[in-house]
Amino acid sequence: MAPKALILRTAGTNCDAETDMAFQLAGAETALVHIQHLISDKVNLADYQILAIPGGFSYGDDIAAGILLAVEMKHKLTDALHRFVEDGKLIIGICNGFQVLVRTGLLPGNGASEMAQRATLAMNTSAKFECRWVDLETQESPCVFTTGVKARVYLPVAHAEGRFTAPAKVLSELEANNQVVFRYAENGYPNNPNGSDSDIAGICDATGKIFGLMPHPERFLTKWNHPRWTRNPTNTQENSSEEGDGLVIFKNAVHYAESNLL
């Protein structure tokens, strides 16, 4: 039986269909679920093995990006989220979803049952919305989602509040625990599009089962998503594979769920 992935949506979410397709291509059984269906118990989070919080502008990013959805999850789904994490299930947050995970305290995590925010995604140092493709360097980490991912990947970003920043103590913990999953391959603007500390583009918790990143892997699932896919593959390696760089992230999650969670 295929593992089940719940793609969470709410007002302002706009990358849910792409994330849903990514998990379908990876072999999961998927469901697009509005958060109110979880809060009202119409849908039981425990029935799923993977939770995905996709990109977009949840609740218009009022006050700060992702904060209202984070507060809603933290205070209305507390028990369900705790059980989901304690059961060793997988969570991925992409762009706005990453902002949500950081603001709930699920990332970077602190090993305690309570969720407390220890980092943030702040306004880009350019003070504007950044939308471009970027090179990422895969770091050694326990992240389930990036097992076997190649050393350098190419993914698009689209955000205004993507600058990962945290106190020095938290940054040191991330480095010591190998919780940095992706870094922007080149420091300095525009290669690092937001000015994040230590060029951080994505992190996981200490277990590697909760993962957040600002770039959008669901937007590069096949070679035809690549901005230069029409180039002759004999002259470039950019479109030599039928799969885009992002698909393996979802395949890894589905494979892990099949092997360990069902």
Q: Residue 238: pLDDT above 60? A: no
- Model pLDDT, residue 235: 46
CATH of the domain at 82: 3.40.50.880
| Percent helix, strand and coil across the chain, each to the nearest 5 | 35, 25, 45
**Annotation says 218 is catalytic:** yes
State the pairing for strand pair 200-204/90-94. Answer: unpaired
Of the residues 18, 130, 161, 218, which is catalytic? 218
Q: In what order do the strands lie in the sheet with 29-34?
A: 29-34, 4-9, 50-53, 90-94, 210-213, 200-204, 180-184, 130-138, 152-159
Structural domain span for residue 64: 4-261
The alpha carbon of 91 is separated from its chain's Cα centroid by a whole number of angstroms, namely: 8
Phi first, then psi: give them for residue 239, nearest 5 degrees. Answer: -125, 35
Into how many domains does the chain fold?
1
Give me the long-range contacts of 169-175 (CB less than 8 A, separation at least 24). Answer: 170/108, 170/118, 170/119, 171/197, 171/198, 173/108, 174/108, 174/200, 174/203
- Catalytic residue list contains 95: yes
The predicted structure's pLDDT at residue 112: 55
Which residue among the candidates 95, 130, 143, 204 is catalytic per the annotation? Answer: 95
pLDDT above 70 coverage of the chain, percent: 94
CA distance readout (Å), 179 to 5, 34, 206? 23, 30, 6
Mean per-residue pLDDT over the chain, rounded: 94
11, 59 contact by CB (below 8 A): yes
- Give catalytic status of residue 216 as yes or no: yes
| pLDDT band with cut points at 50, 70 and 90 for residue 260 | confident
